[in-house]
């Protein structure tokens, strides 16, 4: 994942909302869930329920304004 950059960390609902918004504008994002990966491998995780969204660094400039807009909407809710 060296060509991918984390752009957002949040709970499942926030991550799904942002992921769908990125998909709608043809940004290919990846969701990383450390706690689920650890659970499947038989390990625990210190932070349950947080997921990360990563995008390719070539799409970062297009992604950042959208993330900022969506997170400000989440803060207002």
What rounded mean pLDDT belongs to the chain?
A: 83
The reported pLDDT for the residue numbered 14 is 92
pTM of the complete model: 0.77
Side-chain-side CA neighbours of residue 38 (13 Å): 12
Q: Domain ranges in the chain?
A: 4-76
The reported pLDDT for the residue numbered 73 is 75
CATH of domain 4-76: 3.30.70
In angstroms, rounded to a whole number, what is the distance separating the alpha carbons of residues 72 and 5? Answer: 20
The per-residue pLDDT for range 15-38, each reduced to its tens digit, is: 999 999 999 999 999 999 876 545
């Amino acid at each position: 994942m060296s060509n991918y950059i984390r752009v957002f960390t949040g709970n499942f609902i926030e991550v799904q909302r942002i992921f769908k918004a990125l998909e709608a504008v043809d940004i290919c994002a990846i969701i990383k869930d450390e706690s689920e990966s650890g659970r499947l491998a038989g390990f625990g995780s210190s932070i349950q329920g947080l997921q990360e969204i990563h995008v390719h660094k070539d799409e970062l400039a297009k992604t950042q304004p959208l993330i900022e807009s969506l997170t400000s909407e989440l803060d207002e809710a």
